[in-house]
Each structure stands twice: as C-alpha cells, then as structure tokens.
Structure 1
Amino acid sequence: MTRHEGRLGALAAVDASAAELADRMVDLSVRGLPPGYAGGMFVFTRRGRRGDDGSWTAVPEGRSVRYSAIVALGAAALPADGQRAALAGDTVHDLVGNLVKELPAVTNLGDAALIAWAAAETGHSGLEDALRRLAELEGGLSSGDPVHTVEAAWALAALVAARRGSGDAALDGPLATARERLLTGLRGDRLYRHVIGPASWYRAHVGCFADQVYPLQALARLHAYTGDAEALAAAEQIAAGICEAQGPQGQWWWHYDARTGGVVEGYPVYSVHQLSMAPMALLDLADAGGTSYLKEIALGLHWMTSRPEVDDELIVEELDLTWRKAARDDPKKIVRGVRAVASAINQGSRIGVLDRIYPPLAVDRECRPYELGWLLYAWLFTLPRDTSGTRG
C-alpha cells in the first residue's frame, strides 16, 4: 500500500492540502525520532532551548517506557528500512524486545498494556510475558478501585490485539472484563470522565481529550474484531461528542464536562491531538464501519498552520519536531482548576472573564516521542475488520 492509498488517500479525496500536510508530517516523524532514541529506549522529551543567537535546539531529557511503547506501535507501520531510519538502525522487534525486558519493573497498568499491545501487533515472542504482567497488575486492583480511563482503554486495546493476533481463547475472560469496565465507565454520561470509579468531587465530572480518544479507539477496535454493537454505539457517541465540541478553527479542546459534553476549559490545544490522536481514533472508527469524520480531521490539521492563538510556528522543520501546545500563560493552572470547581457547582459555568486575564498566547517548546509515534500510527495503519472472533 502506498501513501496515496489508505488513510492519506481517503483524506486527499476530501481535502488535498490537509493530506499533503499529514504526508509531510509522516516524513518529519521518521526524521525526528532518532534524536530521542538512546540505549534502546526513547527519552521522555526533547525540550527546546534558545541559544544566544536566538536559534532553538531540542535537548533530550529523561527516559520513558510508555513513550517507547507508543513509538513501537507507530514505527511498526513502517517498512523495514523506515523502521531502521526512525530507530537509529534498530528495528521495531529490537525495541519491543527492550520493552519486554523492562516488564518486571513496570508498575503502571497503562504502561504494561501498551507493551502488550505493541508485542501483539508485532508478533513478538514476549507477548506472553507482557500479558502475564498486565494480568498481575489487574489482579492487584480491588473491586471498586478507581482506574484511569486512558489506562482502561489501553488495556482493552491490548487484549483485542492479543486475542486477534494469537487466537488464544484464554483471553476471552480478561477481554470481557476489560470491555465491561470501559463501557460501564460511560453509562449515564455524554463523554468519559478522567477516572472510572471514585474521584475528587470538584473534578469527578471532568474528562480530558485523551479520556475520549483512547476509549473511542479501543471500542472501535473491539467492534471491528467481534462485531460488538454496544461497543460501536459507545464509540459513535464519543466521536459525535468531541466533533460537536470542536472549535471553529479545528481546535480539539482539552477538558470536557462528561455529563453534558460541554467544554470546561479549551486550552491547551496540543499538536499531538490535531495531527495524531484525533485522526487516529476517528479513522479507526471509520475503518471499523462507523461514521467518517474526514472533514473534522482536516479542519484539525489545518489548525497547525493557520491557528488564531499564537504566531509562532508549531511545526519546526529544522529540528524535525512539533512544539507541544498552544496554552494560556497560566503556569499554576488556575483557569483549569477554577472552571472545574465552577462547573461542578453550577453546570455549564465557565467564568468567561478568565479568557481575558489568561489569553492563550504561550507556546510549550518541547516534543515528546509519543507525539511522533502516534502520528505514524494514525496515518500509516489501517484497522483490519474481522468479525470471526469472539463476540463481545
């Protein structure tokens, strides 16, 4: 399959310039990943640093198993030579092998799920170890314990990929449990909350954009594999909600009132949401037989080059990266906190004066590897449909 087919081709039929931008960003991602790869793992971020001459460099910082697993998923969509280009000479098999070795030290459910997902999609022999670690972490949860929505979604996506790839019927039980947890987390609400289960009263009703994207993706994939009608209906509900709330210039807003789908706080607007995460989830829904939102995807892409908030370029070709977000000059996150409390007390309240006090004029100059990893996954992957598997 060439880039003129598949997802990029479908977008080109609707908006040629948006497809051209996405295609260009795929090439930028391949070039931009190696500077953050060292010792078989990716850094946490490449942080912008301005020199005395005014030019910017991007300095690697930290180390991240989570972001490495996401890059593994994205890079797996590349041909062998593309993988070696993106991974400084390594292959995705090498990267997944390094992640499997990290499993004994992994204590986060989401990280274990991402490793299992990557192992499943790449056919790596470490899948059994990854699933065992995921099961151990699941087993450490008591009934009623809160689980972050994003982690619950990744667990479901991992189990769908593992069940489809291995054909192991022993996964049916864990898959059914993960499915029920995620669907239960939505019932009665318009969108997903940040946590499935008990949460702080003033933020219990709030869900971020990631809390919508990853469940949408996991449920669409579940339907594509099993024909699960309830999963598809939930995915359609989330997709319609975020698209109805999309900003007039294509902004994928940050915080929502899960009860109503209204926007609690729009900023920051993240490059990864515009270029990668929204397209990834919405294209998975279309691939699974759901509604196509190509016009909304295109509008979100165009925000990257013609946004009203900041004049600074967010696509930095000379560094092969994107700056992370356009945000309010609000380092203490006052706006987010105040609006969360206000909407908890009075549904729909936003305290509009805060928009004038803290306008969205700041640019966060860093780039995390997962931003480029999801971009590859969004545009080069095509979700297979196979309804011969276990019915959910």
Structure 2
Amino acid sequence: MTRLTRLRSVGPDAADLVDRMVDLSVRGLPPGYADGEFVFTRRGHRGPDGRWTAVPEGRSVRYSAIVALGVATLPEKTQRAALAGDTALDLTGNMIKRLPDITGLGDTALICWAAAETGHSDLGAALARLAEIEDAATGPVYTVEAAWALAALAAVRTAGGAPGLDGRLERSRDRLLAGLGDDRLYRHVIGSAPWYRAHVGCFADQVYPMQSLARLHAAAGGDSEALAAAERIAEGICAAQGSEGQWWWHYDARTGGVVEGYPVYSVHQLSMAPMALLDLADAGGTPYMDAIALGLRWMTSRPETDEELIVEELDLTWRKAARDDPKKVVRGVRAMSTAINRGARVAVLDRMYPPVAVDHECRPYELGWLLYAWLFEGLSQGLSQGLSEGLAG
C-alpha cells in the first residue's frame, strides 16, 4: 500500500491535495535549477498590476542534495522533466564534486545520503568525507545535523554497507540518543547553548531525529531504544499540534510545551511532518494518519490568513504564515520567559503581534521533501533486509 493510498483511507481531500502538490513540485523545480545545482530561494515580487513573479536568488548545496533525494523517487523521464534534462544521479554527482570544499556536517551528510539512495558510484568518497568532518568536529552539534548524519549512515547500511560502517553508525546513534536524554523533546543543540534558549527546540529538531531513529531501527535489524525515542517525539509533537492542524515551531524540550507557535511553515504541513511520521509507521511505529491529514488541510483552510499559500501560476508554495514581528520579539521574549518560568506565555504578545503575515518565497528543498515524503517506498524493504541481516548475525 503506497503512502498516498494510506492517506486516502482517512482523508480523500488530503490525498487529492498531495496528488496536486506532487505534480506542482515537478513543475516548480526547473525554474530554480541552474548550472547543475539549485538556487537558495525563489523570492516573490509583486508588480504594479498585482501579479506575482518569483525571482531566483543565491545557490544552495544543502537544498540541492535534498532535491536529489526527492527527485530520485520519480521515474527517470519525470526526473529529467524536474531537472531540466538531468537525473537525480547527475545532480548527486554534481554535489559530490563539491565535497572537498564543503566543511559543514549537515551538507555533507545530505550528499552522502543522496549518494546512497541514488546508488552513486562515488558513495565511498562521500562517506569518507563525512567521516573526516565528524572526526574533526569538537564541541556542540546542531540536532538537525546530527540526525542527518545518522540518516545518511542508515541509508548506507540499507544500500549494502561499507567497511567500518557499524562503528560509525553506533557512535552516531549514541550521540543522537544522548541528545534527547530525559527530555520530552529535542533541544536545538546537542551540547551547551546560551541559558535563555538552551531549553528550546524547533520543529525541525524533532522531525529529523524521529525520522533517522526510525530508519536506524529499520536498517539495523531492530533497535528498540531508537524506535522508542522516535515514538516519544511523535507523541509529543502530535499532542501539541494545533486544533487547525498547525505544526508549531518552537517547543520547550523539557516539557513538550509550545514556547512559540509561529511561524507555521508550508513545508512542515505538506512534507516534513508526514515524512517523519510515515517513516515511523513504516518502521513498525504508531501510525498518525489523522494528524497528517489535519496538517495537510491547514494548507487550504486556516485561521491565520485568507491569502492562498499554494500558487499554481508560479508552481510554488509561499513559505510560511508568521507574526507581523520582523524583529522576532515574540520568539525571544517567550524563550527567555520560559527559561525562567516553565509554561509562561506573556499572552499580550499574541495581541501585539498577530499571525497575519505571509512570507513570499519558496525554497527548493520544500518541493524536494514533498516528493520524498509521499513517493519514497523503500523503508519497508530496508526493514526486511535489516532484520534478515540481524537474525543472520
């Protein structure tokens, strides 16, 4: 049963939306593809006639690697339509060529992950570069990057393994599990952070560890501790989900309470929450299809704004619904107040800074993760392979 079929059983309207968004993503990727990599964003500009255009800005290795993962789920003909004639393998190869100049753990991990899933012949080089960067790293590490590193190694394991992989996989696993510790949810940083925001974790800090721990369980022949941690995170974010389907942004990792809900991001609603929760279900965890469907419905009907977030004429989605708070006052005040007094709200800020703004940009990874979330079907196969290897060992 495909992911879309499972969704249709609980929410036909939500499934129709995903169908529509998959097609939009394929059409929306080529305008952001230039010289073998993706732009950082397509920023909306409104002309005197009221019509929107989307202007490409910058370049992003990270977003290119994420798109490679998403596009790899498509048939080759459709890959070439999404990548202006290239394939996901070509795009991954372009990123691998950049590896000697890349020093970030997250970017390197994503490239390695893409190399594993596209079957690139230079996977060994990508894995070696990831090992170099991890071995040289000292001090705190961002939770998201630690999760991507584990996901990459789990993908290598599912793809057939590599010399020395088991030891690295275990160290990566232990680092991520230690970062959760006794907290209800993940913090933004594994290691020390400034006191006034050390307790805060964003939505991405929950989604990517949940995903990677579920995938570790699938790839490593069963890992009950990893699966239990992924379940803890899923239960936490689903319990905190807004009544209209909002996946909130900042949490108190100690309690699981919401520190600050806004912005609400399109990519969270359409892609990242479904991706991680579906991976958890594929790995034998709790299915949260109703929560996924509710989150999807926010994209077409929401209390924050009547402005459409899905822009068919530009083949993109606007990035987020946010507070009219350009200096991020609410985020800072609530982080500090909850550091001092758990559960503090400073409710007057909701009236001073209502969530009525829309961020008119679209980053390529938003479309890449959408394809990956809904078209990826390899985890159950990886689970079977991993369990067989585990039993054989």
Pairing 1:277-296 to 2, within 5 Å after superposition: 277-296=272-291
Question: Is 1:133 aligned to residue 126 of structure 2?
Answer: no
Question: What is the aligned partner in structure 2 of residue 150 from structure 1?
Answer: 144
TM-score, normalised to structure 1, is 0.97
Q: Report the aligned-residue RMSD.
A: 1.1
Question: Is 1:346 aligned to residue 346 of structure 2?
Answer: no
Question: Is 1:205 aligned to residue 199 of structure 2?
Answer: yes
The whole-number CA distance in structure 1 between the counterparts of 2:390 and 2:98 is 31
Question: What is the aligned partner in structure 1 of residue 68 from structure 2?
Answer: 72
Assess, with a 3 A threshold, how the Cα gap between structure 1 residues 139 and 299 changes in structure 2: closer, same or farther: same
Runs of 4+ in 1 over 3 A off after TM superposition: 389-392
The whole-number CA distance in structure 2 between the counterparts of 1:121 and 1:154 is 14
The whole-number CA distance in structure 2 between the counterparts of 1:30 and 1:92 is 13
CA contact (8 A) 2:30 2:83 kept: yes
Q: What SS does the aligned partner of 2:195 have?
A: coil
CA contact (8 A) 1:164 1:389 kept: no
* Alpha-carbon distance, 1:245 to partner: 0.1
Question: Is 1:306 aligned to residue 337 of structure 2?
Answer: no
Question: Is 1:51 aligned to residue 47 of structure 2?
Answer: yes
* Alpha-carbon distance, 1:325 to partner: 0.1
Question: Is 1:105 aligned to residue 101 of structure 2?
Answer: yes
Q: What amino acid is the match of 2:361?
A: E
Q: What amino acid is the match of 2:199?
A: H
Question: Is 1:264 aligned to residue 267 of structure 2?
Answer: no
Residue-by-residue CA offset, 1:211-232 (whole Å, 9 max, x unaligned): 0000000000011122000000
* Alpha-carbon distance, 1:132 to partner: 1.0
* Alpha-carbon distance, 1:154 to partner: 0.1
| Unmatched runs of 5 consecutive residues or more in structure 2 | none
Pairing 1:22-33 to 2, within 5 Å after superposition: 22-33=18-29
Residue-by-residue CA offset, 1:38-70 (whole Å, 9 max, x unaligned): 100000000000111010000000000000000
Question: What is the aligned partner in structure 1 of residue 165 from structure 2?
Answer: 171
The whole-number CA distance in structure 1 between the counterparts of 2:4 and 2:89 is 26
CA contact (8 A) 2:110 2:152 kept: yes
* Alpha-carbon distance, 1:350 to partner: 1.4
Identity %: 75
Question: What is the aligned partner in structure 2 of residue 388 from structure 1?
Answer: 388
The whole-number CA distance in structure 1 between the counterparts of 2:234 and 2:78 is 32
The whole-number CA distance in structure 2 between the counterparts of 1:375 and 1:172 is 30
Aligned pairs, number: 386
Question: What is the aligned partner in structure 1 of residue 85 from structure 2?
Answer: 89
Q: Which residue of the other structure, out of 362, 366, 371, is the alignment partner of 2:357? A: 362
The whole-number CA distance in structure 1 between the counterparts of 2:34 and 2:17 is 29
Pairing 1:8-27 to 2, within 5 Å after superposition: 8-27=4-23
CA contact (8 A) 1:225 1:388 kept: no
TM-score, normalised to structure 2, is 0.97
* Alpha-carbon distance, 1:390 to partner: 5.4
Q: What amino acid is the match of 2:187?
A: R
Question: What is the aligned partner in structure 1 of residue 115 from structure 2?
Answer: 119
Q: What SS does the aligned partner of 1:27 have?
A: helix
The whole-number CA distance in structure 1 between the counterparts of 2:122 and 2:24 is 30
Question: What is the aligned partner in structure 2 of residue 6 from structure 1?
Answer: 2
* Alpha-carbon distance, 1:168 to partner: 2.3
Q: What SS does the aligned partner of 1:319 have?
A: coil
The whole-number CA distance in structure 1 between the counterparts of 2:337 and 2:192 is 20
The whole-number CA distance in structure 2 between the counterparts of 1:295 and 1:99 is 37
Residue-by-residue CA offset, 1:75-105 (whole Å, 9 max, x unaligned): 0000001100110110111101100000011
